A and B are shown apart, each in its own frame.
Chain A
Amino acid sequence: MEPQNIININGIDYSFTPGETILEVATRNDIYIPTLCYLKGMSPTGVCRICLVEVEGVKTLLASCSTQATPGMVVKTDTPAVINARRMNIELLLASGDHNCLARSLDAGLWTDFQLDALDIEEHRDLCPAYGDCRLQDLAILYRVKPDHVVPVNPKYDVEDVNPFIVRDFSRCILCGRCVQVCNEIQVNKVISFGYRGATSKIITRGDRALKDSDCVFCGECLQVCPVGALMPKQDMALRTPVNEMKKVRTTCSYCGVGCQIYLHVKDNRIERVTGVEGTSPNLGSLCVKGRFGYDFVAHPERLTTPLIKKDGEFHEATWDEALDLVAKRMNDIKRDFGPDSIGLFTSARITNEENYLAQKFIRAVIGTNNIDHCARL
């Protein structure tokens, strides 16, 4: 390592690799710098300005997530100027939208006008669905910010819930841009971006249409990274189960052979939400529309839980042994009477590669035909 690659943070020297940001060096050395818009592995945008630090010789405060360490840099992460800037920042963010959560812990007399106004909105009469799982709320509590004197500037937005998966509530959006980053850099669907200017800025699709009328494929990547209550899963909104009442169960997604790692958020033996497991292969937190939203079949009343055999035009419940015996017998009969080519096998992406291999082995070696195909080919 080059000897000059040393940066001083809060009075202590640390070495760094060229290209590392101040935030990365600090995090590696257990120095806490709060972040909001920062996403590990993405190109930092430095827009939320929560991770500001003081750097000697620089007039302004710098976003530690997007400033690379340079030799001899002297950084301070918690001076009064830095703390005050963070507090003011959080205060402005709270004032910029309908963030009514903190009013919950106050006497009614201490509620501010904008918090009361927020409660007047139909969708906001209840607690914010992100309550307890909101980085802005965490930061406001950490920095003891009470938005009591700033004029609110929240432009009014209607809640967009016209698609079956994602509810967009821009009055709770803090424009951190994480959703834009993952849509553009991870999923590369490039559906959303920053639109308009100044305080009327908003995350928009092309032409500012609803998600369902855009190129969105509803992978829900944006939902997973939204730090506040601006993007919520629709199924979840109806239930409004507080985060701390749900149990996280890690499992493998059963939709296809990729083997995405998912968390089922379970309450009373019912799945209430699915999220990707971050930092783990193969999906590193990403999911597709099926894995993330297609879980209602699990507890669906019409779901088949046992094989059915049709007798005299009606289905009757049967055991697996009965069902499999019947299938084996009928297949043998058909093969004998009409020849192996009268049978075809259609496999599914929901089984693994190994199982797909076995399926073709079965149809070729056991049945004796090449009639095999797969749903992914259609």
Chain B
Amino acid sequence: MSEVLFSCWNGKVVDNRAKEADTLESPAHISLPANFFNGKDIKAFMGWGGFVIKDSGISIVNLCVAFLEKVQQESCGQCTPCRIGTKIMLEIMRGIAEGRGREEDLADIISIGEFVRKASKCTIGQTSPTPVIDAITYLREEFEAAIASKNSLTKDDTSRYIGKVTAPCINACPSHLNIPQYVEDIKHGRFLDSLQVIRENTCLPGVLGRVCVRPCELSCRRANADEAIAIKHLKRFVADFESDRHITPKIPRSTSRKDKKVGIIGAGPAGITCAYYLAKKGYQVTVFERFGEPGGMSAMGIPDYRLPRSVLRREVEIVQSLGVEIRYNTLVGRDITMKKIKDEFDAVFIAVGAQGSSSMRIEGEDAGYKGYIPGVKYLLDINQGRDPYPEGKKVVVVGGGNVAIDCVRSSFRVGKEDVNLVYRRTRKEMPADDIEVKDAEEEGVKFHFLCNPTRIIAENGKVTGVELIRMELGEPDESGRRRPVPVEGSQFIIDTDILVPAIGQAIDLSFLDADTQLEVTRRNTIVVDPETMMTSEEGIFSAGDCVTGPGALVAAAGGGRTAALRMHEYLSGKPVKRSDGELMEDFFSAIGVYDPAEDLGIIGGGQRKHLKMMPPEERKSSFAEVESGFSVSEAMIEADRCLRCYRIGVVAL
């Protein structure tokens, strides 16, 4: 990695310009990834916290012009300081760059910049003057030289500048929804506009508004002052606003129908999302789905009390309204061969998810005992309206993830009386959503922490119990969680009729025939080129759980959308590669957008709004949706808490 010449980030300055090679400092608060942009090194970066210069050929004046141009492009134009102030800063700076600088220019930029920083409404205005002011403060001689020389600096500048706007929440979201924008639309009562913003990046607002694991809320700056914005609930609110009023959404789509055909395997979040964005571009899309119902894991793995099937069906109907054909009850490999799909379609997208269950590797697992039901299968049965094992009344579920929680909570709803959850670590380490764990506790699930199954006990081919061993937490493993270690001789037995392992999902690629041998990893995930989303076979793309391993719905949906973009490029003969915007978003992730330690300097205390829930006794026996959404006024008040933490960055290549 080439060394930093000069950097100033959050006021911390590193100046290596006059230093010997062995005394160079590295900035502690920001590091730029090397060879980031298709192998090109970043020469300089200017963003919300300051700037970093690595290449001595970069003109700081031109960098400021490029940055301020981007600020003007992104300024929403409502508040005076940002709209006019940054424009005047830009014009003065451009004057300097073009050899028309005046002596008083620098003082003017600083005084206007300081005003913009202090008086603007949102963080575009509050952060954008900072790097420019810092640049003038620390590299004043370069600006003065530019003013004195009266020469144009822009003529010979061969650098390419790429600008991008993001926000902590946008950056954290795998689908990169423009969250501050849609939240602001809600605040102003423009609910359908808000939904349109959401649909730019996902076609599943009602689904994600209910079951998203919301990485955005974990990166919400408002939490530094009080509590994160209820982003998920707000998304659900606008989705429900539309569907409750039976409004047919207007989906902007390409007017030209393309003659290329795309086949998609799997109507889960990734497949449906990919279909939506390709259909919007005018492609003829056919989706093959093994079940009689769309949604994949989101339909079969998520119980109705969290995600009513009608919500999913409606969103899929909207996708179908764009001309997407879904062939239900069509299992690839059984009802249609992979070869036939490849012959029939110009491109194929594999989004089969991770529908198998991981094994616990304990004695008795493969014996085929009645009452031993893998988690995904258990949920699948319940979600199809069947009790997986009517005779069994006592259930033990093993695992700490969302599937395990869904299994225990669903158990009550099919009439199981004694519901237990076994997890080898403690509650703190549970990967499941904390709120759901709380809901499960309220509903009366018995938790057995620091235990792990060692043996299944069965009589006459039926499960009668499970032997557990006590665990204790040792050293942290690669995931950062402390590794559970068995305590010798601490085995004990719990009686049970049903044992549900829900310790992980596996990927089943048995539908691939001899003709299609895709490269897979050790974990049986499909290998794709992250740049093109293409598998080892030309024209076959893949995303979602079958590529990443079991993950969040929003990540699979995001993968489906990215794959749609790449497939469009592939089918229209354009270079198949990540766009500048996507690369910039990755770059922002690498340098970090959210700083949990930042002192916002605002007065907090605004309470986050919560959804009303059915009381535990009532909800535990019902598949009706547990939470009811925001009212109009609740949504608007909640949306008003958003700080619009937009951040702008420009790199020079």
Contact = CB atoms under 8 A, between A and B. Distances in A.
For the complex of A and B, list the 8 residue pairs with the smallest distance between their C-beta atoms, beginning with the closest: A201-B77, A59-B601, A198-B72, A199-B87, A92-B84, A47-B78, A198-B75, A88-B115
Contacts of A46: 79, 121
Contacts of A73: 603
B114 to A, nearest CB: 9
A60 B118 contact: yes
7 contacts: A45-B78, A60-B118, A84-B115, A89-B80, A177-B78, A197-B73, A198-B74
Nearest to A177: B78
Nearest to B104: A149
A60 B83 contact: no
Interface residues of B, number: 38
Given A58-B603, A60-B601, A153 B84 contact: yes
A249 interface: no
A49 B121 CA distance: 8
B605 interface: yes
Interface of B: 71-81, 83-88, 91-92, 95, 104, 108, 111-112, 115, 117-121, 126, 188-189, 600-603, 605
B91 A151 contact: yes
A60 B72 contact: no
Contacts of B605: 70
Contact of A153 (B88, B104, B120): B88
Given A49-B120, A61-B118, A150-B88, A197 B77 contact: yes
A93 interface: yes
Given A48-B79, A95-B84, A153 B74 contact: no
Contact of A47 (B80, B111, B112): B80
Does more than half of chain A's interface fall in helix, strand or loop, or is it mixed? loop
A153 B87 contact: yes
A1 B95 CA distance: 58
Given A49-B121, A149-B108, A92 B76 contact: no
Contacts of B119: 49, 52, 60-61, 85, 88-89
Given A59-B601, A60-B601, A70-B603, A175 B88 contact: no
Interface string A81-124: 10011001100110110000000000000000000000000000
A92 B82 CA distance: 10
A29 interface: no
Contacts of B76: 194, 197, 201
B182 to A, nearest CB: 16
A194 B77 contact: yes
A198 B87 contact: yes
A89 B601 contact: no
Interface in A12-65: 43, 45-49, 52, 55, 57-61, 63
A300 to B, nearest CB: 42
B85 A92 contact: yes
Contacts of A197: 72-77
Contacts of A92: 80-81, 84-85, 88, 112
A93 B80 contact: yes
Contacts of B86: 198
A177 B188 CA distance: 13
Contacts, number: 117
Contacts of A45: 78
A198 B83 contact: yes
B525 to A, nearest CB: 41
A57 B601 contact: yes
A5 to B, nearest CB: 13
B84 A93 contact: yes
Given A96-B83, A198-B74, A198-B83, 11 more contacts: A84-B115, A89-B80, A150-B88, A196-B77, A197-B74, A197-B75, A197-B76, A197-B77, A198-B71, A199-B72, A199-B75
B87 A49 contact: no
Given A73-B603, A85-B119, A151 B88 contact: yes
B80 A48 contact: yes
B498 to A, nearest CB: 52
B189 to A, nearest CB: 8
A177 B120 CA distance: 16
A313 B81 CA distance: 70
Contact of B78 (A61, A89, A175): A175
A200 interface: yes
A197 B87 CA distance: 11
Contacts of A149: 104, 108
Nearest to A155: B87
Interface in A187-214: 194, 196-201
A58 to B, nearest CB: 6
B77 A49 contact: no
B87 A88 contact: no
A57 B605 CA distance: 13
Contacts of B111: 88
Contacts of B92: 151
Given A60-B119, A153-B84, A153-B87, A201 B78 contact: yes
- Residue from B77, B80, B121 whose CB has the most chain A CB atoms within 10 Å: B80
A194 B184 CA distance: 13
Nearest to A96: B84
A348 to B, nearest CB: 37
Contacts of A174: 80
A85 B117 CA distance: 11
Contacts of A198: 71-75, 77, 83, 86-87
A63 B78 contact: no
B514 to A, nearest CB: 55
B77 A175 contact: yes
Contacts of A89: 80-81, 115, 119
Contacts of B78: 45, 47, 175, 177, 194, 201
A61 B77 CA distance: 19
A45 B80 CA distance: 12
A92 B91 CA distance: 13
A354 B601 CA distance: 61
Nearest to B111: A88
Nearest to B70: A198
Contacts of A85: 115, 118-119
B69 to A, nearest CB: 9
B524 to A, nearest CB: 47
Nearest to B81: A49
A93 B120 CA distance: 14
A55 B603 contact: yes
Nearest to A174: B80
B600 to A, nearest CB: 8
B250 to A, nearest CB: 13
A63 B73 CA distance: 24
Contacts of B73: 197-198
Contacts of B95: 151
B187 to A, nearest CB: 8
A84 B115 CA distance: 9
B88 A95 contact: yes
B316 to A, nearest CB: 30
A43 B88 CA distance: 30
A205 to B, nearest CB: 15
Nearest to A59: B601
A153 B117 CA distance: 19
Contacts of A196: 77
A70 B606 CA distance: 10
Contacts of B74: 197-198
Nearest to A52: B119
A201 B83 contact: yes
Nearest to B600: A59
B174 to A, nearest CB: 27
Contacts of B115: 84-85, 88-89
A177 B79 CA distance: 10
Contacts of B188: 43
A150 B112 CA distance: 9
Contacts of A93: 80, 84
A285 B394 CA distance: 70
Contacts of B79: 46-49
Contacts of A201: 75-78, 83
